[in-house]
């Protein structure tokens, strides 16, 4: 009799350990930093929603620094990553309280580990508060590009990640139109190919500062722009922000 009681207690203990990994209902998010190495253009993101004590939504994606800076699932809709991501997402939704999975049929163990590590990291973070954006913007990746080049031969682009109506990440890039040069302004700048006279920091460094400021304030209208297209609102940034904010405003307008 004692043996059966002990087995029952062990089963309950194991169940409790699994359940303890699922936090309160809400939206959760984590991401890797964008690499400053152009040969590694992608950085992982993970969005997880918990409802009723179990995972109800999961989306593994990447944002990048390639030209046009679209998210990886959009850029590669039938690619190997997208196929693997959808397989693992479906598996988790079918087993929504088990976060200790190490093997999934047809998926390499390393990819399974990467996926579940990101899920657990997201769920260990603070929940994402409800933001000012709504509708389809509950969770998603939204890309936009300026219709015309600025005075430096750049079409500014933005990729905005929204979770629970909140901006959680922004990639500010530009499409360059110079012969023999990569079209991604971030990559060109990282390679030292976009020098700026008098600038204290490289363009890609300042672009990250601008992107982070938009995440901080949530609304492009809250970043005041001077008549020359720059702003004093972003410490360490002297580059033009006018067109970046205009594209961001255009992307976000339908999501209000």
Task: Specify the number of domains making up the chain.
Answer: 2
**In a domain? residue 2:** no
Domain-embedded: residue 14: no
For residue 247, being part of any structural domain is answered with: yes
Q: 69 and 104: one domain?
A: yes
Check if the beta carbon of residue 125 is closer than 8 Å to that of residue 47: no
Domain enclosing residue 84, as ranges: 21-123
Domain final residue, candidates 92, 123, 154: 123
Residue 117 is predicted with a pLDDT of: 98
DSSP 99: -
Same domain, 39 and 143: no
Q: What is the pLDDT of residue 181?
A: 76
CA 156, 145, 162, 245 dihedral sign is: positive
pTM (predicted TM-score) = 0.90
Residue that is last in its domain, among 123, 157, 186: 123
Q: Specify if 7 maps to a domain.
A: no
Same domain flag for 118 and 141: no
pLDDT of residue 132: 96
Shared-domain flag, residues 157 and 211:
yes
Q: What's the Cα-to-Cα distance from 226 to each of 32, 49, 70, rounded to whole Å?
A: 33, 40, 29
- What is the predicted pLDDT for the residue at 14? 46
Check residue 80 and give its pLDDT. 97
Please choose, from the candidates 63, 110, 115, the residue with its C-alpha nearest in 3D space to the C-alpha of residue 87: 115
pLDDT at 116: 98
Tell me: do 246 and 168 sit in the same domain: yes
User: Domain for residue 213, yes or no?
Assistant: yes
Q: Are residues 144 and 245 in the same domain?
A: yes
- pLDDT at site 87: 98
Instruction: Identify whether residues 151 and 51 lie together within a single domain.
Output: no
**Residue 9 lies inside a defined structural domain of this protein:** no
> Is residue 250 included in any domain, yes or no?
yes
The pLDDT of residue 1: 52
Q: In sequence order, which residues have a C-beta less than 8 Å from that of residue 54 and are 6 or more positions away? A: 22, 96, 97
Residues of the chain under the 70 pLDDT cut: 1-20
The answer to whether the CB of 68 falls within 8 A of the CB of 78 is no
Q: Would you state the pLDDT for residue 7?
A: 45
Assess contact for 185 and 173: CB atoms under 8 A. Answer: yes
Task: Kindly state whether residues 211 and 231 are assigned to the same domain.
Answer: yes
Last residue of a domain, one of 61, 96, 123: 123
């Amino acid at each position: 009799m004692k043996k059966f009681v002990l087995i029952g207690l062990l089963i309950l203990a194991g169940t409790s350990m699994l359940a303890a990994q699922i936090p309160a209902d809400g939206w959760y998010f984590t991401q890797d930093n964008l690499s400053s190495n152009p040969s590694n253009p992608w950085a992982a993101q993970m969005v997880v929603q918990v409802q009723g004590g179990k995972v109800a939504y999961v989306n593994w994606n990447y944002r990048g620094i390639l030209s046009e800076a679209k998210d990886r699932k959009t850029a590669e809709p039938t690619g190997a990553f997208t196929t693997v991501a959808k397989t693992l997402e479906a598996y988790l939704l079918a087993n929504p309280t088990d976060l200790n999975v190490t093997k999934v049929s047809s998926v390499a163990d390393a990819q399974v580990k990467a996926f579940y590590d990101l899920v657990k990291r997201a769920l260990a973070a603070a929940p994402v508060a409800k933001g000012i954006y709504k509708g389809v913007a509950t969770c998603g990746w939204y890309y936009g590009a300026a219709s015309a080049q600025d005075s430096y031969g750049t079409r500014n682009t933005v990729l905005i990640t929204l979770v629970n109506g909140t901006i959680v990440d922004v990639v500010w890039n530009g499409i360059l139109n110079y012969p023999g040069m990569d079209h991604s302004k971030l990559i060109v700048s990282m390679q030292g190919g976009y020098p700026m006279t008098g600038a204290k920091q490289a363009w890609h460094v300042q672009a990250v500062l601008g992107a982070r400021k938009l995440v901080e304030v949530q609304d492009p209208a809250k970043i005041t722009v001077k008549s020359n297209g720059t702003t004093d609102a972003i410490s360490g940034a002297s580059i033009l922000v006018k067109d970046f904010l205009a594209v961001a405003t255009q992307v976000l307008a339908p999501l209000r």
